[in-house]
């Protein structure tokens, strides 16, 4: 087990500096354009693929970093560049984590490479869990998967929403209900291969922030997938459902469903994204405060501004430490006995919203215009307290964990 440390190794520093350079030289110069266009920045994704950032190999190396810091370090640097473009680059990772968390070795080897493509023909993937009537309330999910034993196929019907890369993805990972009586424990995840009949894109959302990231509904109309597309396989699913039914009879159960397993694994990474955006806004505000003069002196000489910057930096560093702790715990198999993953996302997300708002305030009128990036960063930061579990849901998870109550 790797020791917890706040000091990156020389190799990690080299990777961090490489990512920072890409974020500064490629992502940031393109940020305003793709925010205005509200389109997937395919040229930037392709550039990331050319240098090896958008690839299975790169994310695998970071994912299996024994310190656990590879992924949060990468997320922070890319989102420091721009949240919308960075999410377009890393959005496939949520679907990949869904396969890693629930799939067999054969499924992992077959489908994850198809999620990325290669530098000459980049692909993306989508993880589809939320629904119009079931966002945080996963127990209310309506998308159904029915097994056709004669053909060894699963038939999926329903509508997913808020899906990053939804409809434009090469591979979709869809969470569906297989046993309605078990509520959230009766869910399973399925691979929907490329060009599968019946899957289509519904509404594409025009968003407040992260506009360069494609977000849409995914409609499933009698979508048939082979039995091999059930993540984990039917034998494992049947055993899990049997355990859930038995424990339900005994008055309660705590078997995790597929969507929750994916979100638990990704929450510290989302916290790292928020840290990157917060850090970017803080750095803009700091530089502005050092150079902007009022009444014959830089505005950082005023306590009202200086104290804000002190609080901003303190919160950012605290958020990063919570993210690093949760990431280290996860890679070393230490259980989140106090919901440390949710803690990291909660604090980092709220920090991003607060710090970007303070940055706008420090820049004054300039901060409210699109001539300065803090306006965009402030809009982007709102998503962190919403997706992959709202701040309210994170507090509920933390409170229930502390109380020893089941997470539903």
Please say whether the beta carbons of 386 and 353 come within 8 A. Answer: no
55 occurs within a structural domain: yes
Residue 190: pLDDT band by 50, 70, 90 thresholds?
Answer: very high
Residues 164 and 78 in one domain: no
20 occurs within a structural domain: yes
Residues 289 and 364 in one domain: yes
Residues 181 and 48 in one domain: no
Distance CA 260, CA 266 (A): 10
> What's 384's domain CATH number?
1.20.140.10
DSSP label of 228: G
Strand, coil or helix: 204 = strand
DSSP label of 383: G
Number of domains in the chain: 3
Q: Going by DSSP bridges, is the β-strand pair 121-122/117-118 parallel, antiparallel, or unpaired?
A: antiparallel
Distance CA 28, CA 48 (A): 13
What residues are labeled active site?
388
Write down which residue in 86, 121, 156 finishes a domain.
121
CA distances from 275 to 10, 78, 99, 220, 259 (A): 22, 11, 26, 35, 24
Strand, coil or helix: 62 = helix
Question: Locate tokens 């894109």: which residue?
Answer: 201
Write down which residue in 121, 138, 165 finishes a domain.
121
Q: How high is the pLDDT of residue 262?
A: 53
Question: Locate tokens 């087990």: which residue?
Answer: 1
1 occurs within a structural domain: no
71 occurs within a structural domain: yes
Please say whether the beta carbons of 398 and 338 come within 8 A. Answer: yes
> What's 226's domain CATH number?
2.40.110.10
Distance CA 74, CA 66 (A): 15
Residues 262 and 399 in one domain: yes
Q: How high is the pLDDT of residue 91?
A: 94
Output the DSSP codes for 95-132. HHHHHHHH--HHHHHHHHHHHHEETTEE--EEEE--BT
Distance CA 267, CA 279 (A): 18
Residues 53 and 160 in one domain: no
pTM: 0.91
Write down which residue in 249, 281, 312 finishes a domain.
249
Residues 117 and 130 in one domain: no
Helix (H) or strand (E) holding 147: strand 144-148
Residues 283 and 240 in one domain: no
339 occurs within a structural domain: yes
How many Cβ atoms from other residues are within 10 Å of residue 294's Cβ? 11
Q: What is the mean pLDDT of residues 137-142?
A: 77
4 occurs within a structural domain: no
The residue range of the domain holding 22 is 10-121
For residue 404 the two structure tokens come to: 């020893």
Question: For 213-270, what is each residue's pLDDT tens digit?
Answer: 999 999 999 999 999 999 999 999 999 999 988 877 776 544 455 555 555 667 999 9
Strand, coil or helix: 372 = coil
Q: What is the mean pLDDT of residues 66-72?
A: 94
Residues 91 and 110 in one domain: yes
15 occurs within a structural domain: yes
> What's 18's domain CATH number?
1.10.540.10
Residues 65 and 83 in one domain: yes
Question: For 95-119, what is each residue's pLDDT tens digit?
Answer: 998 898 899 999 999 999 999 999 9
Strand, coil or helix: 174 = strand
Asked if residue 384 has pLDDT above 60, the reply is yes
Output the DSSP codes for 288-301. HHHH-EETTEEGGG
Radius of gyration in angstroms for the set of CA atoms belonging to the chain, rounded to a whole number: 22
3 occurs within a structural domain: no
Distance CA 36, CA 267 (A): 28
Q: What is the mean pLDDT of residues 161-189?
A: 94
Q: How high is the pLDDT of residue 255?
A: 44
Residues 243 and 281 in one domain: no
Residues 146 and 33 in one domain: no
Asked if residue 185 has pLDDT above 90, the reply is no
Q: How high is the pLDDT of residue 352?
A: 98
Distance CA 205, CA 398 (A): 31
Residues 204 and 321 in one domain: no
Average pLDDT over the chain, rounded to whole?
92
Q: Is 233 exposed, middle or buried (0-12, 13-18, 19+ CB in 10 A)?
A: middle
Locate the DSSP E strands across 227-360: 293-294, 297-298
Phi and psi at 235, nearest 5°, equal -60, -45
Distance CA 359, CA 195 (A): 45
């Amino acid at each position: 087990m790797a020791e917890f440390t706040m000091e990156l190794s020389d190799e990690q520093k080299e990777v961090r500096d490489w990512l920072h350079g890409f974020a500064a030289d490629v992502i940031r110069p393109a940020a305003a354009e793709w925010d205005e266009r509200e389109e997937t920045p395919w040229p930037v994704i392709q550039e990331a693929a050319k240098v090896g950032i958008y690839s299975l190999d790169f994310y695998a190396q970071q994912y299996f970093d024994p310190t656990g810091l590879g992924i949060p370090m990468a997320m922070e640097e890319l989102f420091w560049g721009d949240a919308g473009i960075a999410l377009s680059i890393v959005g496939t990772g949520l679907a990949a984590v869904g396969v890693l968390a629930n799939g067999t070795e054969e499924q992992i080897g077959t489908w994850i490479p198809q999620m990325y493509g290669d530098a000459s023909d980049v692909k993306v993937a989508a993880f589809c869990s939320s629904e119009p009537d079931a966002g945080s309330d996963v127990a209310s999910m309506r998308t159904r998967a029915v097994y056709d034993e004669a053909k060894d196929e699963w038939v999926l019907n329903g509508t997913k929403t808020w899906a990053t890369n939804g409809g434009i993805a090469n591979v979709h990972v869809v969470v569906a209900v297989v046993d309605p009586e078990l509520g959230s424990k009766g869910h399973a995840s399925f691979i929907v291969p490329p060009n599968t009949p019946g899957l289509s894109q519904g509404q594409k959302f025009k968003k407040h922030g992260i506009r360069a990231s494609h977000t849409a509904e995914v409609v499933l109309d009698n979508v048939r997938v082979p039995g091999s597309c059930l993540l984990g396989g039917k034998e494992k699913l049947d055993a899990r459902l049997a355990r859930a039914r038995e424990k339900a009879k005994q008055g309660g159960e705590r078997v995790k469903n597929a969507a929750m397993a994916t979100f638990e694994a990704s929450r510290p990474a989302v916290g790292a994204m928020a840290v990157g955006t917060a850090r970017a806004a803080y750095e803009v505000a700091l530089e502005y405060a050092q150079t902007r003069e009022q009444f014959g002196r830089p505005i950082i000489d005023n306590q009202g501004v200086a104290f804000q910057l002190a609080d901003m930096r303190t919160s950012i560093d605290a958020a990063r430490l919570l993210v690093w702790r949760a990431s280290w715990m996860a890679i070393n198999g230490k259980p989140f006995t106090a919901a440390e993953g949710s803690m990291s996302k909660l604090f980092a997300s709220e920090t991003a919203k607060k710090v970007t708002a303070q940055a706008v305030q420090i820049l004054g009128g300039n901060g409210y215009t699109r001539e300065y990036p803090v306006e965009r960063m402030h809009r982007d930061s709102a998503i962190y307290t919403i997706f992959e579990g709202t701040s309210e849901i994170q507090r509920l998870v933390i409170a229930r964990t502390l109380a020893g109550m089941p997470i539903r």
